[in-house]
Amino acid sequence: MPQRLHLVFGGELKDPTRKEFKNCEEIDLVGVFPNYEAAYNAWKSKAHMTVDNAHARYFIAHLHRLRDEEQPASPTEELG
């Protein structure tokens, strides 16, 4: 069974109606989690901590969806 990794990250947005960060160098990388439940719990905790800041947003990225295991590896992946 493939591992289903999830990345939780967030920060302050330029405009709360868009998903563009105000400063990419200040993005808060919360962590990578082994399943959605753990990622959701981390996301929820960070979201509650920033509830008073309308420009702050946290997201869950489904890392397992970014890679298609059926596709051949790129040359850079094979270097490692």
Domain boundaries, the chain: 1-13+36-68
Host H or E run for residue 61: strand 56-62
CATH class for domain 1-13+36-68? alpha beta
Give the pLDDT of residue 75: 57
- Dihedral of CA 25/43/39/16: which sign? negative
Give the pLDDT of residue 79: 47
pLDDT in tens, the chain (80 residues): 667 899 999 999 999 899 999 999 999 999 999 999 999 999 999 999 999 999 999 999 998 777 666 666 655 555 44
- Return d(Cα 57, Cα 53) in angstroms, integer: 9
Give the pLDDT of residue 45: 96
Spatial strand order of the sheet with 56-62 comes to 28-33, 6-12, 56-62
Give the pLDDT of residue 80: 46
pTM of the model: 0.78
Give the pLDDT of residue 8: 96
